[in-house]
């Protein structure tokens, strides 16, 4: 165990810095601190030609410069390093659009920061620029959007959202077909990261139930619930019988559950079973 700890510590000291694939630059002369702000030694690593907005360098060349200055750099995740000139444009309009779209999906989301980074040098932002987002953008804190530039070309930008979202969780273990309510759910604030499906941020307007058994403290999404049927199995229903302009009603028991306009089986008080159409909550029409 002691040797293992020493090995881990030695590897950490050997590769204290990991080289990434993409970096932004403002000045054409780059220093070690531009790649690793917390590095103890500042030295020049590269000079980018003045006419270049995008400059690509072999990662081993960058690593060799660090090595000559007594610092080891891990290049296992970057074969080449791309240096992209930082765009002078104000991306606030795009940030505002993303923020607005997120508030449409999650009215109570608490957004701390939105970072948008162009994929390449963006010299200007067209007037009334519109951002185009993926249909499922609201399920991830990181993603890609694009705009149409003055030439009609797509320009892609990456975004990262730092936010907190209050999401419903099960407060206890629940059973399949159990009704969703304030007794078996609790609202918890969580970091807005990645969701497999739209998270539930409040109880649905329509009575709903669970699709499957769930454990306590499980995050809830739309996929895990369904709207309660208007008629439940073994529940009493009012049966309508239409005869010209006369409507007769009597009581019966539903043998099956059903939603609006479903055809289900009901059992009359004499034990006879017949078919009926669901027309409302606990109401059916005899066929």
User: Coil, strand or helix: which one is 61?
Assistant: helix
CA dihedral 102, 103, 106, 109 (to 10 degrees): 90
Residue 118, pLDDT > 70, answer yes
pLDDT of residue 189: 97
| For range 232-252, the mean pLDDT | 89
Instruction: Determine the average pLDDT of the residues in 98-102.
Output: 97
Cβ burial of 229 (10 Å; 0-12, 13-18, 19+) is: buried
Q: Does pLDDT of 3 surpass 70?
A: no
- In residues, how long is the chain? 287
d(CA 201, CA 110): 13
The confidence band for 259, taking pLDDT boundaries of 50, 70 and 90, is very high
Q: What is the mean pLDDT of residues 16-39?
A: 92
What pLDDT digit, counting tens, does each position of 128-143 carry?
A: 899 999 999 999 999 9
Q: How far apart are CA 236 and CA 249, in angstroms?
A: 13
User: What is the C-alpha separation between 84 and 279, in angstroms, rounded?
Assistant: 63
Categorize the per-residue pLDDT at 9 as very low, low, confident or very high, splitting at 50, 70 and 90.
Answer: very low
Is 87-228 in CATH node 3.50.50.60?
no
CATH number of 236-286: 2.30.30.760
pLDDT at site 251: 94
Question: Mean pLDDT over residues 179-202, rounded?
Answer: 96
- 14: Cβ contacts below 8 Å, ≥ 6 apart: 72
Q: What is the pTM of this model?
A: 0.72
Give residue 121's pLDDT.
86
Considering the chain, what percentage of its residues have pLDDT values greater than 70?
95
Residue 43: alpha-carbon gap to chain centroid: 40
pLDDT mean over 201-209: 94
Using the predicted structure, report yes or no on whether residue 167 has a pLDDT greater than 70: yes
pLDDT attached to residue 286? 92
3-state helix, strand, coil in the chain (%, to 5): 15, 40, 40
pLDDT band at 15 (very low <50, low <70, confident <90, very high): low
Domain boundaries, the chain: 2-85, 87-228, 236-286
Q: What is the mean pLDDT of residues 102-118?
A: 95
pLDDT class for 8, splitting at 50, 70, 90? very low
Which run of H or of E encompasses 63? Answer: helix 59-68
Tens digits of residue pLDDT in 170-190: 999 999 999 999 999 999 999
pLDDT attached to residue 244: 76
Residue 13: pLDDT above 50?
A: no
Query: Average per-residue pLDDT in the chain?
Result: 91
């Amino acid at each position: 165990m002691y040797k293992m700890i020493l090995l881990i510590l030695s590897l950490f000291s050997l590769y204290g810095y990991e080289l990434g694939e993409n970096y932004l630059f403002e000045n054409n002369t780059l220093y070690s601190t531009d790649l690793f702000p917390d590095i103890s030694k500042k030295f020049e690593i590269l000079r980018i030609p003045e006419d270049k907005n995008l400059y690509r360098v072999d990662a081993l060349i960058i690593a060799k410069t660090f090595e000559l200055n007594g610092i080891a750099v891990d290049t296992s995740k970057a074969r080449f390093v791309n240096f992209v000139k930082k765009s002078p444009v104000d991306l606030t309009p795009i940030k505002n659009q993303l923020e607005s779209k997120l508030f449409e999906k999650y009215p109570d989301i608490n957004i701390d920061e939105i970072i948008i980074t162009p994929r390449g040098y963006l010299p200007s932002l067209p007037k009334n620029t519109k951002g185009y987002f993926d249909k499922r953008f609201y399920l991830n804190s990181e993603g890609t959007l694009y705009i149409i530039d003055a030439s009609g070309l797509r320009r892609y930008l990456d975004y990262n959202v730092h936010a907190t979202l209050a999401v419903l969780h099960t407060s206890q273990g629940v059973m399949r077909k159990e009704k969703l309510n304030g007794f078996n759910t609790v609202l918890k604030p969580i970091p807005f990261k990645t969701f497999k499906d739209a998270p539930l941020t409040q109880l649905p307007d329509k009575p709903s139930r669970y699709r499957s058994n769930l454990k306590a403290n499980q995050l809830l999404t739309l996929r895990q619930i369904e709207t309660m049927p208007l008629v439940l199995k073994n529940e009493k229903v009012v049966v309508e019988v239409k005869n010209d302009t006369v409507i007769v009603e009597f009581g019966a028991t539903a043998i099956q559950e059903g939603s609006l306009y479903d055809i289900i089986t009901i059992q009359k008080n004499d034990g006879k079973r017949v078919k009926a159409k669901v027309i409302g909550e606990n109401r059916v029409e005899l066929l």
